[in-house]
Structure 1
Amino acid sequence: MGSSSGPGSNNNYDLSFKILLIGDSAVGKSSLLVSFISSSVDEDLAPTIGVDFKIKHLTVGGKKLKLTIWDTAGQERFRTLTSSYYRNAQGIILVYDVTRRETFTNLTDVWAKEVELYCTNRDCVKMLVGNKVDRESERVVTRDEGIHLAKELGALFLECSAKTRENVEQCFEELAIKIMEVPSLLEEGSSLVKRNILKQKTDNSQAPPAAGCCS
C-alpha cells in the first residue's frame, strides 16, 4: 500500500497529479503499480475489478509530489465508468506485454482511441510502457516497434519489468518530470493543492445582503 492518505498527511506536498494506467487485461498494470508503491511484487494479483487507486508521495526535481495512480480494469465488461477515469488526468501510462502482440496492437486499435475520446486534458502526457522484459526469450514485440508507436502517439517510451522492478520507478518519475514541464498541467497540479488547503479552512464569511436600492 502507498503512503497514508489520511487528513494529516495530505498537506505536505507541492503538487498533486492524477495518473492513469490503461491497457489490456493481464499486461501487468496492477503489478507495475504494486511494484512502484511497495518495492515488492505479488505474482498472483487478481484482475482489477472496475478501478482501484493508490497514492504515492515522492520527491522529483526538488518538488514534493502526491501521485494518485488509478489502475483500471482491462476487461470489456468493467468498462462502464470509462469517461470518469480520464477526467482531469495529467498523465496516462499505456501498458502492453512484450510477449503478447495483441496487447500491443490494441494500444492503437482500442486504448489510444479511448484517450482521444475521453481525456479532458489536451496537454495530458502519455507514456508507452512495454512490460515483462524479464521474459526476453518469449518477446514478440521489439523495442524498436515500441519506440515507433510511441512517436506516432506523441508519447514517452520505456520498457520495464514489474517482476524484477527494472525501470518501474523511472516510468512514474519520468512521467512526473514531463508533466512538470507542461505549464497548464503544472498550474493544475498546484491549484489542486491550494484548493485542498482552502477546503480545510472553512470559510464562514458570508456576503452581506444587498442594501435596498435608493429611490
Structure 2
Amino acid sequence: MASSPASSYDCSFKVLLIGDSAVGKSSLLVSFVSAAHIDEDITPTIGVDFKIKFLTVGGKKLKLTIWDTAGQERFRTITSSYYRGAHGIILVYDVTKRESFTNLADVWTKEIEMHSTNKDCVKMLVGNKVDKDEDRVVTREEGLALAQEYGCLFLESSAKTRENVEKCFEELALKILEVPSLLEEGSSVVKRNTLKQKQENANQSGGCCQ
C-alpha cells in the first residue's frame, strides 16, 4: 500500500517486535521499512532500536513507530520498559529453530503479561524464515494453534523473499484500527502533536519584532 507523507497522518501507533535473538526481527523490520529483500542476517540488536514507517491502511494514514528489541536475556531489563503503551506486539520465531517457538510460550508471552500496560494491545505471531522450508521444524499448524491459544493473529513470513512482510504490519495495523480504545489513543497522539506544533509556531511568530 502507498506510503503517506510524513507531515500528515490520522493516527500514530507504537508497535513492538519481540522474540529470541536471530529469529529475524531486525530483518523483517528493515525489509518492511525499506521495501527491500534482505539477503543476509542483520547484526543482532543491542538493547533497542526503532524505525518509523508511514502507510495507509483501512482508509487511514498511519504513523507506525516500530521498536525492535534485543532477544538476548541480558537486555531484558533494558527492553521491558518499551512494552508500556504499545498498541501492537509482534512475536517472532524462526520456523527452523524449535527453541525459538517454545520460548514464545515459556518466555515472551509472560514478558507481555508482566510489562504490557495496554490490555487491548493487539498481538500477532509470525513464523519467519519460511524460505528455508527444507530446514523447517515448526509446522504452520503448530504456529496457528499457538496463536489461537493466546488470541493472536498469525502469519508466516520471509524477510529474504519479502513473503508476507508488508502483510504482517498491515494486518496488525488494521486490527488495531478495529479496537476503539486503541484508535482513540492513536488519534489523541496526533491531536496533541498538532496542538503542540501550533503553539510552537505561534510562539515563534509572536517573538518577532513588529
Same fold (TM over 0.5): yes
**Counterpart residue number, 1:165:** 162
Unaligned 5+ runs, structure 2: 204-210
Q: 2:148 is matched with which residue?
A: 151
Mapped pair 1:43 → 2:40: yes
Aligned 8 A contact 2:24 2:41 in 1? no
Partner of 2:207: none
Question: Unaligned stretches of 5+ in structure 1?
Answer: 4-8, 206-215
The two structures have a TM-score, normalised by structure 1, of: 0.89
SS in structure 2 of the partner of residue 74 of structure 1 = coil
SS at structure 2 position matched to 1:110:
helix
Aligned partners of 1:13 and 1:66 also within 8 Å: yes
Counterpart AA for 1:130: G
Alignment of 1:50-199 (within 5 A): 50-199=47-196
Structure 1: distance between partners of 2:174 and 2:34: 21
2:28 is matched with which residue? Answer: 32
Partner amino acid for 2:25? K
Q: Secondary structure at the match of 1:201?
A: helix
Higher helix share: 2
Shift of 1:90: 0.2
SS in 2 for 1:93: strand
Letter in 2 for 1:34: V
Report % sequence identity: 77
Larger Rg computed on CA atoms: 1
1:12 maps onto 2:8 in alignment: yes
| Counterparts of 1:48 and 1:129, CA distance in 2 | 18
Q: What value does the CA root-mean-square deviation take over the aligned residues? A: 1.7
Structure 1 CA distance for aligned equivalents of residues 199 and 35 of structure 2: 38
CA distance in 2, matches of 1:83, 1:133: 29
Poorly superposed stretches of 4+, deviation over 6 Å: none
Q: Which amino acid in 2 is paired with 1:49?
A: I
- The alignment covers a number of residue pairs equal to 199
- The answer on whether the counterparts of 2:70 and 2:79 sit within 8 Å (CA) in structure 1 is no
When the two structures are superposed, what TM-score results if normalisation uses the length of structure 2? 0.91
Q: Residues 125 and 143 of structure 2 are in contact (CA less than 8 Å); yes or no, is this contact kept in structure 1?
A: yes
Distance (Å, rounded) in 2 between the aligned partners of 1:71 and 1:188: 22
Per the TM alignment, residue 159 of structure 1 is displaced from its structure 2 partner at its CA by 0.3
- State whether residues 11 and 197 of structure 1, in contact with CA within 8 Å, keep that contact through their aligned partners in structure 2: no
Deviation sequence 1:127-181 (CA, Å, 0-9, x none): 0000000000100000000000001110000000011000000000000000000
Shift of 1:189: 0.4
Q: Structure 1 counterpart of 2:184, which letter?
A: E
